[in-house]
Structure 1
Amino acid sequence: MGEARRRASQGLPPRRPRPDPAEAERVVSWLPLSKAQTRQFMAVTTRGAWIGIGALVLFWVVVRFIGPAAGWWTLADMP
């Protein structure tokens, strides 16, 4: 209690407790997600979406061009 007595003798207000990082900057008070967690979630899902788009384009190129050219299958719309 030395710090508290020193502050009181100097006329300083008592120290405020440090904010809990789990409680800091919540998106909604009743939802246990912080703003940093929402930013991280958006970054991960955006990266995942771009990876999915790239995989879909690669799959389409294989089905449409590489497979028929290699003789693995024939397309139904080509005579």
Structure 2
Amino acid sequence: MGMLTVDLDAKAEKALNELTSDGRSATEAVREALVIAQRLHRMELARIAAERLANDPADRAEAEAIMKDTEHLRAW
């Protein structure tokens, strides 16, 4: 585990104050915020990748071909 020193600007200081108003320590609040930020970052990367695939004509054609080939497997 590492140690991190951060200079907070007014906006970050206000956010930290709000996140610790329930009695949580600054360390706990920052750890949770980092995990949430990582999750949001991964979601954004996944969204970008999905958008890129959705706009890729070759990938769309392949997906349509697979749907056509598996149409008989649909329950309805």
User: What TM-score do you get using the length of structure 1 for normalisation?
Assistant: 0.47
Structure with greater helix percent: 2
User: What TM-score do you get using the length of structure 2 for normalisation?
Assistant: 0.49
Name the larger-Rg structure.
Answer: 1
